[in-house]
Structure 1
């Protein structure tokens, strides 16, 4: 009677799984370049042909791609499948912003709670670094830097949950909200009390996670998103009023030029 043979995994499959895990957990992010072939093969303890085969497996899944000029880079496929269609619809259906913020409240509240429960020392160190960078950006008059560090802080929380779906959904959601975050911060930068509120809200989230207080972390994150929702609504109303005023001014200027 023939015996079933033990299936020994191919080295390239094991290497591909190892690299895929790094992408899933966020150790390798979209846009990151893989280390040079020689270094990566030595790090993983495999031959370069096995490494090349593994990278080709990931490329066939769309997880990495080679770029002109050399180098293999992580793609944003895990996020773009969510991001791309919703970005198009956001432009056509502005009311989706409110649904998006409602979903963000749910996601970030849960993320903060789990981060407080699950974050490792390395996660907390990374979160604290992101928090410090964000505070420095908020103290400087640099809107782009404020928006970028704000996103980095919230993404660090998402990844500290050690839930791959939350980490990648959070990244996609923050990309969708990037223009709105920039608009909101632009409107608020002229209001010192609002900036102070944002900083205190972020501080409350950071402190609750570092002190490992899950309920407090969730409450702080939800309070922050509630403030963001209201201030963004005000920002959009202000932007609409400015556009209306400019159209009126241009109409009056055109009429006076013709008379």
Structure 2
């Protein structure tokens, strides 16, 4: 009995490391529910006691949370410390929006370049599926679907870069900018001459990645973010005009 305990402990460490790797690389995302314990033990080829020990270790790190009667889920512990304060600062200091977009400019162009170099066939299939879903959404009237598919497309590219920091930072940054992404798409949706450009730009990024043209992919991504920067500025100006007009109307009343 005493001879088996160290082996079981070592096995649980290996399992914990495997699951942690899946979380880091994005195979398991915040909010994802893990398979049932019996199913996951079979998949990993370990006993349920070893799996439980691994899950407890990851729970202690704050990477997993178990809900009574509801299963075990991946937490957003790696995103929340970044997202929460920045969302509040962006709300309180809109002038830093340009700095965040400048950072996104660097991050996404690098992600596109690396994705063109490193993407596997599975990665390309996923990016292609995300692009198709976005193309369908942008051809309809559901703005929420446009936002969701747009974010998914960029996240698929970030994860195809095969750099765990790029993947997690990109996901966090889009959460920080979510409100402004929505406002910007609302602004663009009301202007057909600009709305059509969005898909043209995304297609250029996708084409460059699947054709392995890394510099072209980076350039296409930079061009897209510059377009977002300009239209976001116009969105903020448009919002300020509406607020100003509303204040005047209120004063007159």
Shorter chain as denominator, the TM-score bin is over 0.9
1:148 alignment partner in structure 2: 148
Deviation for aligned residue 1:68: 3.9
Deviation for aligned residue 1:162: 0.3
Q: Distance in 2 between matches of 1:76 and 1:163?
A: 19
Matched, 1:180 2:186: no
TM-score if structure 2 supplies the norm length? Answer: 0.96
Q: Distance in 1 between matches of 2:252 and 2:155?
A: 47
Deviation beyond 6 Å, 4+ runs, structure 1: none
2:83 alignment partner in structure 1: 83
1:57 alignment partner in structure 2: 57
TM-score if structure 1 supplies the norm length? Answer: 0.93
Deviations 1:217-243 (A, max 9, x none): 000000000000000000010011001
In the alignment, is the contact (CA less than 8 A) between 2:87 and 2:177 conserved in 1? no
In the alignment, is the contact (CA less than 8 A) between 2:130 and 2:152 conserved in 1? yes
Runs of 5+ consecutive residues of structure 1 not aligned to the other structure: 1-6, 254-259
2:199 alignment partner in structure 1: 199
Runs of 5+ consecutive residues of structure 2 not aligned to the other structure: 1-6
2:25 alignment partner in structure 1: 25
2:4 alignment partner in structure 1: none
- When residues 8 and 69 of structure 1 are mapped into structure 2, their CA distance, relative to the original with a 3 A threshold, is closer
Deviation for aligned residue 1:81: 2.1
1:114 alignment partner in structure 2: 114
Secondary structure of the 1:29 match is coil
Deviation for aligned residue 1:16: 0.3
1:101 alignment partner in structure 2: 101
Q: Distance in 1 between matches of 2:215 and 2:197?
A: 20
Q: What RMSD in Å do the two structures reach over aligned CA positions?
A: 1.4
Q: Distance in 2 between matches of 1:174 and 1:88?
A: 14
Secondary structure of the 2:252 match is helix
Deviation for aligned residue 1:69: 3.4
2:125 alignment partner in structure 1: 125
